Chains A and B, each alone.
Chain A
Amino acid sequence: MSGHTQTAAAPAASGTTAPAAVADRPLVEVDGLIKHFDLGGHFLQRERPTVKAINDVSLGIRRGEAFCLVGESGCGKSTLARIVMGLLDPTGGAIRFDGTRIDGLKHTARKPFHRRMQMIFQNPYASLNPRRTVQKTLEEPLRFHFPNLSDADVKTKVEQVMVSVGNDPSWGTRYPHEFSGGQRQRISIARALMVDPDFVVADEPISALDVSIQAQVLNVMMDTQEARDLTYLFITHDLSVVRHFGTRVGVMYLGTLCELADTATLFENPRHPYTRILLSAIPRISTEEMKPPGLPGEVPSAMNLPSGCVFHDRCPLANARCSAEVPRAQCQADGTLVACHAVEEGRG
């Protein structure tokens, strides 16, 4: 809970920033975010079992960038995205959007932010209501946020957005089950774009798609970013997509942010030992035999986190300090944030 004073990327209080700094201010700030899931348990148990999904994560997403969050399954990246979108309530910390704190807002007070923030989901087979036509699905956000629009305006807008993501506007009368995964995901993207959002969270939007369709959907997303000046939070575990798509990358491990860097910097010069091992696991075409990434053991349970640095029991560079003290994110010379004692001490 005390780590968030260290983060250079997320200036803490919005009220104190000078007007000139408003343009530089990150669009979305995640400040000291904590999320614990209560597993219920027995009422006589002294300590109720909790899954510590996110432990003190701070980051800032700048305007117009495609911020990628990578990490293996269960590291808390989707949870973070869902908290940012308000689908889950944080246990601690704050989320700010354009300087306004949005976590814990009442439903009506949040409405303008619902319009400015939209989300694209992982599974295109579940994210469209099977009983509603495409037209109805696409009209819904528009009619909710702009109740004064006439039917003709709504229709024009739907057509325009459908065309902009490469869909045939005549699909409107059909039902989701009549489309392929890629088509559905483009419909999903269209739904997110209906209300002209500033910020779009994409939670593994291509991982459920065929490889041949992945690039197509990714290109649609990149084109719309350019055309609409969007800011993305892109959740993925596919590092080659990050390289292609991301401006900056955050690497997460077991609910903590290990490293946050520009995409190019991260791939050229990964600092955190976890990031290095992660990057070494990218499959390459070469005549050399690939060495196994050399990461012993398995990811520990988020119900029972290791003491100190959560990575210390698998880290090749760990020493006594790592198992005792939680590392804080340190700003490096090139602006990269690394939370590692070894990097701080120059042991790496």
Chain B
Amino acid sequence: MSRLSAVLGSDFVYRFRRDPIAIVAFAVTAAFMLAALLAPVLSPMNPHDPAQLDIMNSEIPPVWQSGGDPAFLLGTDDQGRDMLSAILYGLRISITIGIFAVMVQMALGIVIGLMSGYLGGKVDAFFMRLADIQLAMSTLMLAIVALAVFKAAFGAELFSDMAIIMLVLVIGIAEWPQYARTIRASVLAERKKEYVDAARVIGLSAPTIMRRHILPNTLSPLLVISTVQVANAIISEAALSFLGLGMPVTMPSLGSLISAGFAYIFSGSWWITTIPSIVLIVLILSINLLGDWLRDVLNPRLYKG
């Protein structure tokens, strides 16, 4: 109980409560996360199940438009799929890919960043040049090449089965330099401090010092870039799906929904593309606003009172 009151009374919570943007951003992000988590409960139908689709229901507009059907609140797409269900399930897939891709990035980035920063010398030079080379090519370019090669080599069928894993790996591996560089920079600052020398004097091994002493002191920048990176990963996933290299139409993510509806936008069925786009934009915006707020709070040089 005292722990809970300590958290509630902390500076962190105080500043959160004082900042309406942070509250709204947090509420929206949390709502989306919850909706994604509860998608099977919330959605009227399972959009991944072709048996539940009826082609006769295709392209029904949202309820507030003439011709809308109360059974399909946000209308249906070209295959008669309920948009609300498709968006909820799509959100689920997008967020899953975003979070897991960031976990891959984080794992790679932490290991490489810690080693580069702590060991220095040739290890550092090797990994940082590798990061430079990788950053010289954009994430999307790398991902498109990797996914296109995979799709060509193993066929579209296997690709659609493996799409989630492939997207997580590709986006995860393509963006490790962001983490590695951030961690390395904080490790360089931390390892000069005397508590690291004290740990060395005790006789602890380098991996133990990195894990037990240095890593916990680099966590706040990690938290900040993680929020931004989740948003980036979701955008990358959407972009790849839009280009046809991501989630298949049978298991649409937000990106594939936008892509699928794009062909119908001029035939009047604007909602198939527009509604998932709005969801994507609001989600990314609130995650980024939350990340900005977190950065300001965790940076002691930016006290705004």
Contact A110:B203 (CB < 8 A) given known A129-B217, A130-B217, A131-B217: yes
A158-198 CB contacts (< 8 Å) to partner B:
188, 191, 195
B71-114 CB contacts (< 8 Å) to partner A:
none
Complex interface bits, B185-228 against A, C-beta within 8 A gives 1, otherwise 0: 00000000111011111111100000001001100000000000
Q: Are B195 and A129 in contact (CB under 8 A)?
A: yes
Known: A140-B199, A140-B202. 6 other contacts (CB 8 A): A114-B201, A114-B203, A115-B203, A128-B195, A131-B217, A188-B198
> Which residues of B are found within 8 Å of A129, using beta-carbon distances?
195, 199, 213, 216-217
Tally of contact residues, B, Cβ under 8 A? 15
A112→B201 CA distance, assembly (Å)? 12
Closest CB in chain B relative to A341 CB, distance in Å: 38
Q: Are A118 and B203 in contact (CB under 8 A)?
A: no
Contact A121:B203 (CB < 8 A) given known A129-B213, A129-B217: no
Q: Can you list 16 A-B contacts with CB-CB less than 8 angstroms, sorted by A residue number?
A: A82-B197, A85-B201, A86-B201, A87-B200, A107-B203, A110-B203, A114-B202, A121-B198, A122-B194, A126-B194, A127-B193, A127-B197, A131-B217, A132-B213, A140-B204, A191-B198
B162-193 CB contacts (< 8 Å) to partner A:
193
A76→B282 CA distance, assembly (Å)? 59
Which 10 pairs across A and B sit closest by C-beta, in order of nearness?
A114-B203, A127-B194, A121-B194, A129-B195, A131-B216, A141-B202, A126-B194, A126-B193, A119-B201, A111-B203
A214 adjacent to chain B (CB < 8 Å): no
Tally of contact residues, A, Cβ under 8 A? 29
Q: Are A119 and B198 in contact (CB under 8 A)?
A: yes
Closest CB in chain B relative to A119 CB, distance in Å: 5
A19→B249 CA distance, assembly (Å)? 86
A228 adjacent to chain B (CB < 8 Å): no
Contact A118:B201 (CB < 8 A) given known A127-B195, A129-B217, A130-B217: yes
A155→B193 CA distance, assembly (Å)? 27
A107→B216 CA distance, assembly (Å)? 24
> Which residues of A are found within 8 Å of B198, using beta-carbon distances?
119, 121, 127-128, 188, 191
> Which residues of B are found within 8 Å of A121, using beta-carbon distances?
194, 197-198
Instruction: Output the nearest chain B residue to A118 by Cβ-Cβ distance.
Output: B201
Closest CB in chain A relative to B199 CB, distance in Å: 8
A195→B201 CA distance, assembly (Å)? 12
A321 adjacent to chain B (CB < 8 Å): no
A191→B216 CA distance, assembly (Å)? 20
> Which residues of A are found within 8 Å of B205, using beta-carbon distances?
107
A144 adjacent to chain B (CB < 8 Å): yes
Closest CB in chain A relative to B25 CB, distance in Å: 28
> Which residues of A are found within 8 Å of B217, using beta-carbon distances?
129-131
> Which residues of A are found within 8 Å of B204, using beta-carbon distances?
140, 144
> Which residues of A are found within 8 Å of B197, using beta-carbon distances?
82, 87, 119, 121, 127
A145→B202 CA distance, assembly (Å)? 8
A126→B195 CA distance, assembly (Å)? 6
A126→B198 CA distance, assembly (Å)? 10
> Which residues of B are found within 8 Å of A117, using beta-carbon distances?
201
Closest CB in chain B relative to A204 CB, distance in Å: 11
A111→B208 CA distance, assembly (Å)? 15
> Which residues of B are found within 8 Å of A50, using beta-carbon distances?
none
> Which residues of A are found within 8 Å of B200, using beta-carbon distances?
86-87
Instruction: Output the nearest chain B residue to A110 by Cβ-Cβ distance.
Output: B203
> Which residues of B are found within 8 Å of A107, using beta-carbon distances?
203, 205
Instruction: Output the nearest chain A residue to B202 by Cβ-Cβ distance.
Output: A141
A330 adjacent to chain B (CB < 8 Å): no
A133 adjacent to chain B (CB < 8 Å): no
> Which residues of B are found within 8 Å of A82, using beta-carbon distances?
197
> Which residues of B are found within 8 Å of A126, using beta-carbon distances?
193-195
> Which residues of B are found within 8 Å of A128, using beta-carbon distances?
195, 198
A60-89 CB contacts (< 8 Å) to partner B:
82, 85-87
Instruction: Output the nearest chain B residue to A127 by Cβ-Cβ distance.
Output: B194
Instruction: Output the nearest chain A residue to B213 by Cβ-Cβ distance.
Output: A129
Q: Are B202 and A144 in contact (CB under 8 A)?
A: yes
Closest CB in chain B relative to A198 CB, distance in Å: 14
> Which residues of B are found within 8 Å of A6, using beta-carbon distances?
none
Closest CB in chain B relative to A56 CB, distance in Å: 25
Q: Are A87 and B203 in contact (CB under 8 A)?
A: no
> Which residues of A are found within 8 Å of B194, using beta-carbon distances?
121-123, 126-127
Instruction: Output the nearest chain A residue to B206 by Cβ-Cβ distance.
Output: A107
> Which residues of B are found within 8 Å of A127, using beta-carbon distances?
193-195, 197-198
